[in-house]
Chains A and B, each alone.
Chain A
Amino acid sequence: MNIVAIAGSVVGSKTKSAMQYTVEILKDKYPDQEVSLLDLAEYDMQFSDGRNYLDYQGDTKFVTETIMNADVIMVGTPIFQASIPGTLKNLFDLLPTSALEGKVVSMLVTAGSQRHYLIPEQQLKPILSYMKAQVVQQYVYIEDVDFYRKEITNDDVLFRIERLVEDTMMLARTYQQMQREKDAKYDF
């Protein structure tokens, strides 16, 4: 399976730290799988203008193609202005409407306080569902107080990330099995 972790913001370090930690767990527990981290801060992304993703060039083409080739996506996002960052929304806008069909997607969220706890539920999840992702129901929500100098210090958060990785991989395997059974019905 091809697994892609996304750090969905160009500013700050917490989402990136959380995603790096997630990637380490993935590599450790699933050494046979391909895992990569897309930190959007490292790429020069164009704003979506409605064209097919294959018609972009450079970083935009690389990032969108990497996502389209993934079987599993773990989206990391901070909360900005009571929503996901524009950077991450732009990434979704660059992709076709059913881009996430056949992919399992899970969410990790970093935020300043608990007041934004339902933002991923109400803003990110509908986008993922619209784009036909198989969304892992639980997500990991991480607060400022869980970090100390770019490291996650709250063991509860670390355990929750481990569980999210396990659940994501379990759903991905189940989903692929389901897809195989579905396709086996046809003789072409």
Chain B
Amino acid sequence: MEQYRIDPQKGLEFGLYTLGDHLPNPATGERISASQRLEEIIELAKLAEDVGIDFFSVGESHQDHFTTQAHSVVLSAIAQATEKIKIASSSTIISTLDPVRVFEDFATIDLISKGRTELIAGRASRVGNFELLGYDLQDYEELYEEKFDLLLQINQEKYVNWEGKYRAPLRNAHVLPRPYQGSLPIWRAVGGHPSSAVKAGYAGVPIFVATLGGPVSIFKRTIDAYRDALGEAGHNPDQFPVATAGFFYLAETTQQAQRETYPSINEGMQKTNGRGYPKQHFAQGASPRDVMNIGSPQEVIEKILYQHEMYGHQRYIAQMDFGGIPFDKLRKNIELIGKEVLPAIQKYTAK
């Protein structure tokens, strides 16, 4: 766990992530400017740090309704604006980027942040970046696996000798700068399907699992399959952290939390993925056995603790800004996290 800068004695880490979506507030139909959205994301990281949240990450998405395409640039600004909070990408679409360049960027952010930077590499669920950046979608799987492997190699070796299909070979390449503590924690983003988690297990890398909706037990299968694969490949599962990520929102009551988030999530999903969120499914999200952490602080605390009991994970990462939720609501959520959620999680999960 030390390699990933995680101390299990301290209990479950709590983080926030943003996909950097740039969507209108469904109540007013108005959209803030891209500049304001970016400013608010940086502000969100600062507020998170102030209340003691452990982690903040920013996603990369190349399509309409998003604004953090250059997510490493945003993370660099966050590195400068904060002092303690861990920062990361969630996720970097390594398939259509050059691992050397990505490593240079993230090692630089790590130096600026004095060793607080992590990298979560994913494959892209929407694929506009393939055409935009000059790649063939037919190579979807192979591009990811090859480039992810190269990224890990650059992270581990000072001088890299490498040859592959999708990038010019590297001969004794000295990739600089080196991160603050010699290497970066690098995670694999997993969409929830066990097969990707199993690959991460064989490769011996930690996983960041997206858990947007549905029963906790479904995602437990993915996490169990990951730990089994780690064991089968000769790794010690106790040394590899697991993070889960999903929708989160607090209000006085669960009903109010649902009222305040449903239009954002439904219309946001409709705009970004072409399908809204059925009310019936959303309503079931309030069940203690569902992964969706939208509700009153007490109910959400109990859900997070239940998930921790089931998954034995090391970090939970909340997405609460999707779909044009106004900033004052986000600020209020962060206050509640600091005041109610973090102390409770700490109390029940720290050893």
Contacts and interface: CB of A to CB of B under 8 A. Distances in A.
B279 A52 contact: no
Contact of A49 (B125, B137, B261, B275): B137
Contacts of A185: 283
Interface in B206-259: 255, 258-259
Interface string A66-80: 001000000000000
B259 A53 contact: no
B274 A96 contact: yes
A75 B317 CA distance: 44
Nearest to A95: B274
Contacts of B259: 187-188
Contacts of A52: 125-127, 273-274
Given A49-B137, A55-B128, A188 B274 contact: no
Contacts of A102: 278
Contacts of A145: none
Interface string A29-62: 0000000000000000000011111110000000
Contacts of A186: 258, 279-280, 282-283
Contact of B275 (A50, A65, A98, A187): A98
A47 to B, nearest CB: 11
A115 interface: no
A101 interface: yes
Nearest to B274: A54
A101 B278 contact: yes
A183 interface: yes
Number of contact residues on A: which range applies? Answer: 20 to 34
Interface string B132-161: 000001101000000000000000000000
A54 B128 CA distance: 9
A187 B255 contact: yes
A186 B261 CA distance: 13
Interface string A117-128: 000000000000
Nearest to B283: A186
A49 B127 CA distance: 11
Q: Is the interface of A mostly helix, strand, loop or mixed?
A: loop
B123 to A, nearest CB: 12
Nearest to B260: A188
B180 interface: no
Nearest to A49: B137
A149 interface: no
A7 B318 CA distance: 46
B66 interface: no
B262 interface: yes
A102 B270 CA distance: 14
A177 to B, nearest CB: 15
Given A52-B125, A52-B273, A182 B280 contact: yes
Nearest to A53: B274
A188 B127 contact: no
Nearest to A57: B131
Interface string B273-315: 1110011101100000000000000000000000000000000
Interface centre among B262, B274, B279, B280 (most CB of A within 10 A): B274
B275 A51 contact: no
A54 B279 CA distance: 23
B279 A68 contact: no
A99 B273 CA distance: 11
Contacts of B283: 185-186, 188
Contacts of A54: 63, 126, 273-274
A51 B278 contact: no
Contacts of B125: 52
Nearest to B128: A55
A52 to B, nearest CB: 5
A186 B258 CA distance: 10
Contact of A51 (B127, B263, B279, B282): B127
Contacts of B258: 186-188
Given A54-B273, A187-B255, A188-B279, A49 B126 contact: no
Interface of A: 49-55, 65, 68, 96, 98-99, 101-102, 182-183, 185-188
Given A102-B278, A186-B282, A188-B282, 5 more contacts: A54-B63, A55-B128, A96-B275, A101-B278, A188-B258
16 contacts: A49-B137, A50-B140, A52-B127, A52-B273, A52-B274, A54-B126, A55-B63, A98-B275, A99-B275, A102-B278, A183-B279, A186-B280, A187-B259, A188-B259, A188-B261, A188-B263
4 smallest CB-CB distances across A and B, nearest first, come from A188-B262, A188-B258, A188-B259, A51-B127
